[in-house]
Structure 1
Amino acid sequence: MQRTIILNNEQIQHKTKRIAYQIYESNINETEIVLAGIKENGFIFAKKIREVLEEISPIRVILCEVKINKKKPREQITTSISPKEYKNKPLVLVDDVLNSGTTLIYAAKHFLEVPLKRFKTGVLVNRNHKKYPIKADFKGISLSTSMQEHIYVEFKGKKAEAYLD
């Protein structure tokens, strides 16, 4: 199969900015918000959203890395901050690609053990192949792809690219 670019660096920057504005709009009355990025690409994407949020809003952004075994999501999930740091706060769970929803649903379950003010999800690419009833509240792009196709997002410093393989 040939590699097909879905989003180039400039398009990813635009999508990131748009998602940041949507998060700000839905949390306009908040003083702080937690962005919980799923390890690796989800965390990198959460950091990029935080950069934009800090430029456009007075909201204090608390960044949290969610460590989950994507192959065995039922194993213990850990976070880089303690539950008391996100308790009773609005939280956005961030990942790069929403495939079947397995990773997001198990990560969401982890956060539901602590009372939150509001819980939302955000992804750069939503594939529309859900196995679980979880949706992306904030998404850069939605694609209908075959199950044999794979979407990859590469973050290399200031450059980023999403492609179909």
Structure 2
Amino acid sequence: MDTVQPTLILTSEQIRQKIRRIAFQIYENNFDETALLIAGISGEGYRLAEALAHELQTIAPFTVHLIRLDVDKTQVSQPTVHSTIDFTDKVIIVVDDVLYTGRTLAFSLQPFLQVPIRKLQVAVLIDRNHPRYPVAADYKGYELSTTISEHVEVILSDEQKRGVYLR
């Protein structure tokens, strides 16, 4: 049984600061837009997207729409994104908690490449620097070089345990 305690990388307050900084960067790079679509990858990626959307709504004059992306990594292609929001000619920011190899994000970008959009950007809380797919984050909360055997866990949905941990 593994009794090694996880190492705390970011506290709840540090995560809040990173989210606020990312929101300001998104606003700075999209200040002339009238609306943004924030697409969070289900799980902690969606929780991060919710927090970013909330922060953007407090600092930016544009409309912020939020959707959840359900990604099936076992499928070669991803289904069309079903949304009541028309994202044609819009800026889309795909959000996930951790960028590791880029595989999940590559799958997540696929549905948006089927329609004409203005810009497609990526935001992550943690970038682990192990690219295998040609996906890079436009917005990063924290860069962390890890070994392949290490695991980064982001907890946003549990206020008592909220943080980023290295296992």
Quote the residue 1:81 is aligned against: 83
Match for residue 58 of structure 2? 55
2:18 corresponds, among 15, 18, 23, to 15
Tell me which structure has the larger Cα radius of gyration: 2
Aligned residue identity for 1:155: L
Q: Judging changes above 3 Å, is the alpha-carbon distance between structure 1 residues 77 and 7 closer, same or farther for their aligned structure 2 residues?
A: farther
Unaligned runs of 5+ in 2: none
Query: Match for 2:60: what amino acid?
Result: S
Aligned partner of 1:141 in structure 2 is 142
Instruction: State the Cα distance separating 1:58 from its structure 2 match.
Output: 0.9
User: What amino acid sits opposite 1:146 in the alignment?
Assistant: T
CA RMSD of aligned residues (A): 1.6
Contact 1:65–1:79 (Cα < 8 Å) also in 2:
no
TM-score if structure 2 supplies the norm length? 0.91
Aligned length: 163
Deviations along 1:3-55, whole A, 9 cap, x unmatched? 00111100000000000000000110011000000011111100000111011
What pairs with 1:14-53 in structure 2 (closer than 5 Å)? 14-53=17-56
What TM-score does the superposition give when structure 1 sets the normalisation length? 0.93
Classify 1:147/1:36 alpha carbon distance in 2 versus 1 (closer, same or farther; 3 Å).
Answer: same
Provide closer, same or farther for how the CA distance between residues 158 and 29 of structure 1 changes in structure 2, counting only shifts above 3 A.
farther
Identical positions, percent:
39
> Residue type of the partner of 2:63?
R
The aligned amino acid for 2:115 is: V
2: CA distance between counterparts of 1:76 and 1:23?
A: 26
Distance 2:66 2:51 in 1: 11
**Partner of residue 123, structure 2:** 122
